[in-house]
Amino acid sequence: MNRREFITTGLAAFGVSALGLRAEAQAAGIPPPTLVQMRVPLPANEIHVFPNHFRLYHTRADGTAVRYACRVGRDSLYEPGQYYVGAKKANPSWKPTPGMVEREPEKYAQYEEDGIPGGPNNPLGVRALYLFQPGRGDTFLRIHGTNDPGTIGRAVSNGCAGLTNEHIRVLYDQTPIDTPVVLYPKMG
């Protein structure tokens, strides 16, 4: 089996059409999800976000992972640590946090009361994984979709990791509740 067949077979195991995602990703200049061999062994069925590389890895039992291009939180809003997926929502509604309204009222105050209903045009995109911590509960951090693929590969969010709407659909379907998530510290 050659490399292309291996990757396509691995993506098919995740329910991903390599050709469909490749076309979407190329149109936006974003690499499609890629099956990669892990250089360092990590436990299976976890999500690892490496902010300096703007990559999210969903690990598998065979020592491989599906690698996604992502965006991350800007500056001090990025919060490294260990989390778990405490909730999942398809087409989630969105409301800015009080901190978001305080930092940028001109951008968020208009949504403070009613938020934005679920769907592809809201800031959480079409799917969201809600990150929790023991003793703290919901951290208000998410791994979610975006309708602005130009933000992938940048530190622009209010703390969340973001994927394209097409890519978050795949990750969402493969991620059960209680999946461990590690957000690594930014370096430098």
Per-residue pLDDT of the chain (188 residues; tens, 9 = 90+): 333 433 333 333 334 444 344 444 455 689 999 999 999 989 999 999 999 999 999 999 999 999 999 999 998 899 999 999 999 999 999 999 999 999 999 999 999 999 999 988 889 999 999 999 999 999 999 999 998 999 999 999 999 999 999 999 999 999 999 999 999 999 97
Determine the Cα–Cα distance for residues 52 and 187; give it in Å rounded to an integer: 7
Identity (one letter) of the amino acid at 83? Y
Contacts for 36-39: CB closer than 8 Å, 24+ residues apart: 36/64, 36/65, 36/66, 36/67, 37/63, 37/64, 38/63, 38/64, 38/65
Nearest to 129, CA basis, from 117, 146, 142: 142
The catalytic site residues sit at: 144, 160
Task: Give the pLDDT of residue 26.
Answer: 54
Task: Give the pLDDT of residue 42.
Answer: 93
Task: Give the pLDDT of residue 116.
Answer: 93
Token digits of residue 157: 């969010």
Domains of the chain: 20-183 (2.40.440.10)
List Cα–Cα distances, 175 to 13, 28, 60, 148, in angstroms.
14, 25, 11, 23
Task: Give the pLDDT of residue 27.
Answer: 56
Task: Give the pLDDT of residue 10.
Answer: 36
